[in-house]
Amino acid sequence: MREFYKKLSVQNRVILTCIVTSILISLVNLYLFFNINRVIGRMGELYRTNVELKELSEGLSSVQASLTEFLNTKASDAMEDYFRNAQNYQELLEGLSFPGNDPDTAILGENIRNLSTSYLTYADAAVSARRGHIIERYMNDYASATGTYDAINDYLYRLNLQQFSINTENYNSLVGSFRYLELISVVVLFTLSAVNIVLIAMFTRNIMDPVRERELRMEAHIREAELKYLEAQIDPHFLFNTLNAGAQLAMMEDAEKTGEYIQRMGAFYRYKIHGGNAASTLEKEIELVDNYIYILNVRFSGSICFEKHCEEELLSVRLPDMVLQPIVENAVNHGIRNVEYPGRILLSVTKEGEAVRVSVSDNGVGMSAERIAEVLSGGAGRDEEKLTNGVGLHNVISRLELFYGKSDIMKIESPGEGGGTTVSLLLPIRTQEEEENHVSGHAGG
Amino acid sequence: MKKILLYALTVVFALITIAALVYFHARVRSVLPDESASAAFSSHYAFICRDPSDSFFQAVYQSAREAGEEAGVYVEFMGRDLPSAYTSEELMKVAMDASVDGIIVEADESGEMAERINAAVDAGIPVVTLGSDCTGSSRQSYVGVSFYTLGQMYGEEILRHSGETGGRILVLASPGETDSYQNIIYRGIQDTINRTGRSEEFSVEMLAVNDNVPFGAEESISGLFRREEHLPEDIVCLNELNTTCAFQALIDYNRVGESRIFGYYENSSILSAIRRGIVTATAVIDTDELGRSGVEALNEYLSDGYVNEYIPADIRMVDAGTLKEEGEDGDDAGVL
């Protein structure tokens, strides 16, 4: 059953749940309705026996009256009346019934039937004797019939009284019970509705999970796609520039240096192309920065002085890839490129509580407070042909927020024009397991 | 946790619903008639006595009814609860016209009763007489006491309580009764006195009590107590009504102790009168045995085609000593 339910679509599950609960309520309703109708029918039937007995008594009186009339007058009309009334009385007798199994009632009814049979026998005999002018006989038969008639009336009276008493008792009981039945019906419908609501809640609770799961997976995919998309914004022009420089180097010197250069280039681009894991380590990020600086120094004849101060135990700290190189790149492009004095970039990695402080400082032109705010808010414009418009930092900021699930990872400080700039990141320390849990938690389940 | 709560709620509400439905079903069944069941009796007997209000015969009927139910027979008390009053003979005719399977009747020796009994027997309806017989009829059996033995028992009680002194013994009888049972009782008393050789010391008389008219019995007995300066030493009452009227008259006329009353039947009033010393002793017939024997006699006749012509009923005398013994033994000394 569970397997069958799991295979159903969301729509079919909802429909099935509604069908089951509707059938349940309908069946109970039908049962209640049917039985209440029976009780009402019984109430309507209650005094039927009294009505029947009254009709029987009237029928009997008609027979006696027509018998007496015929014996008095010997008129053919009276004789026809007698036979017709006797027939009618016979039919009323046959239709007489008393519900229930009370023996006293049954015996009274039986007595009435048997006495009536005897009465009609005497009456028929009296009529025959009268027609045959047998005076003594019809007088005796009439006396017997009259005696039996009196006895039948007494029994009818007794039975009527008994039935009336029983019927009244039953009626009072029925009325009292009817109130209970109404109350019970309300209680049953209320509790059944509650059961149905709970059942629907249980069924739909299970239905919602797959939908939510899909939503969360979609979110994760979107985040992953966003990450990849943002990473893909890093401009590939640098690749071509560095390759050209490498070619010049190879011509000027022996292959050794050229080889090193190209090797470093390969490593650089390998890292970039091979990325997409969305996470890397500080060690690899710093290695990328080293390659980048090397390449730059080759391009710019070693004019960039790059210093690193890193604590060894922090090199395994995880962070999004392609974070440090764009920051250093910005320091190079925005900070020290056009200065007259030797440009210096300092990369430091230190532990700060449960986090790692990664700082990239330059002694370049510095940034105004407005510019800092603009860059941090992502308001800086994008120019794909120039890497000097803060696009890289916007990319880095977005990816850091996505990775860590919080903002204010990055801070930019600068004393102002000519005072250099420091971009620092405060990265929470996470192991790979914690990172996987974070991702899967965000992916749902 | 939330899932457990939902399951719990489902179970609770479902149980309440089921309980309510079960109660509903029971309630409906209680008010609707049971169409399937029906009163099933194999036979229908008529029980007829002269006075349906007589508590003695009511007790006999109750036993007969119980015996009937055990055997699948419905025993109907004819004439009771009917608006008109019927004589025993009229009830016999009604029973015949109602096609009963058997009749148990408190008979008498009248010609009309004999005629009715014979007519019923001729119509194939067996008749058992109960308490008093109709010896001139073709009834199948008589269930009752030996009236001569009863007379002897009264005689012995009188002798026991009178001691060395003799006296008048007055037997209260119904006037105009053609029943010989009163005469047989009278004969039993007389013979018992005679056997002791003390017939000179005692005189046995009968007095007609006019119980055929309303309140006639009480009037007759009161008249006796008003009229006679010296009451008889022993008064013998042959039915419950006369016994009650007699001891009440003793109390009303403040003549307790002047006469010993020997009664018939036991009910709470008579037993109380015995305990208080107003009634000396009373003859008690086992009404349960009487009623059962009547039904069993008919059953036997209908099944075997034969039954004993006379089935005796136990009779005993109850006095203050007997009551005390029964009371000490924890027996119920109330109405049988």
For the cut 60, the answer to whether the pLDDT of residue A276 exceeds it is: no
Q: Which residues of A touch B24 (CB under 8 A)?
A: 32, 35, 181, 184-185, 188
Question: What pLDDT is attached to residue A241?
Answer: 67
Among A35, A99, A191, whose Cβ lies nearest the Cβ of B20?
A191
When pLDDT is cut at 50, 70 and 90, the band that residue A443 belongs to is very low
Distance separating alpha carbons of residues B4 and B19, to the nearest angstrom:
22
Among B23, B39, B98, whose Cβ lies nearest the Cβ of A184?
B23
Among A31, A119, A154, whose Cβ lies nearest the Cβ of B84?
A154
Residue from B158, B185, B157 nearest B169 by CA: B158
DSSP A348: E
Question: What pLDDT is attached to residue A221?
Answer: 64
Calculate the CA A215 to chain-centre distance: 16
pTM: 0.60
Cβ within 8 Å of residue B86, ≥6 positions away: A151, B78, B79, B94
For the cut 90, the answer to whether the pLDDT of residue A348 exceeds it is: yes
- Encode pLDDT of B56-104 as tens digits: 899 999 999 999 999 999 999 999 889 999 999 999 999 999 999 999 9
For the cut 70, the answer to whether the pLDDT of residue B211 exceeds it is: no
Q: What phi and psi, each to the nearest 5 degrees, are found at residue A19? A: -65, -45
- Encode pLDDT of B244-275 as tens digits: 999 999 999 998 889 999 998 888 899 999 99
Question: What pLDDT is attached to residue A215?
Answer: 66
Task: Tell me how many degrees the CA angle A320-A326-A332 measures, rounded to the nearest 5.
Answer: 155
Q: Which of 306-345 (A) contact B at CB < 8 A?
A: none
Cβ within 8 Å of residue B174, ≥6 positions away: B182, B208, B209, B211, B212, B238, B239
Distance separating alpha carbons of residues A12 and B72, to the nearest angstrom:
63
Task: For residue B303, count CB atoms less than 10 angstroms from its CB and return exposed for 0-12, middle for 13-18, buried for 19 or more.
Answer: exposed
**Contact between B192 and B229 (Cβ < 8 Å):** no
Residue A185 to residue B24, Cβ atoms within 8 A: yes
Q: Which residues of B touch A99 (CB under 8 A)?
A: 33, 35
Secondary structure of A260-272 in the HEC alphabet?
HHHHHHHHHHHHH
C-alpha torsion angle, residues A119, B120, B45, A108 (rounded to 10): 10
Distance separating alpha carbons of residues A29 and A19, to the nearest angstrom:
15
Residue B24 to residue A28, Cβ atoms within 8 A: no
Cβ within 8 Å of residue B19, ≥6 positions away: none
For the cut 70, the answer to whether the pLDDT of residue A194 exceeds it is: yes
Distance separating alpha carbons of residues A54 and A42, to the nearest angstrom:
20
**Contact between A125 and A137 (Cβ < 8 Å):** yes
Q: Where are the beta strands (DSSP E) in A214-303?
A: 280-281
> A263 CB near a chain B CB, below 8 Å?
no
Among B9, B33, B38, whose Cβ lies nearest the Cβ of A198?
B9
Q: Which residues of B touch A40 (CB under 8 A)?
A: none
- Encode pLDDT of B81-92 as tens digits: 899 999 999 999
Q: Which of 26-45 (A) contact B at CB < 8 A?
A: 28, 31-32, 35, 38-39, 42
Question: What pLDDT is attached to residue A32?
Answer: 85
**Contact between A424 and A357 (Cβ < 8 Å):** yes
Question: What pLDDT is attached to residue A10?
Answer: 75
**Cβ-based contacts under 8 A for chains A and B:** 117
Cβ within 8 Å of residue B74, ≥6 positions away: A103, A107, B39, B41, B43, B44, B45, B68
Residue A39 to residue B81, Cβ atoms within 8 A: no
- Token reading at A66: 């027509």
Q: Which residues of A touch B27 (CB under 8 A)?
A: 177, 180-181, 184
For the cut 70, the answer to whether the pLDDT of residue A389 exceeds it is: no
Among A102, A106, A158, whose Cβ lies nearest the Cβ of B82?
A158
Note the residue count of chain B: 336
Distance separating alpha carbons of residues B82 and B77, to the nearest angstrom:
10
Give me the residue label for tokens 């710019």.
Answer: A300
Average pLDDT, chain B: 87
> B124 CB near a chain A CB, below 8 Å?
no
Number of H helices, E strands in chain A: 13, 7
Residue type, A237: H
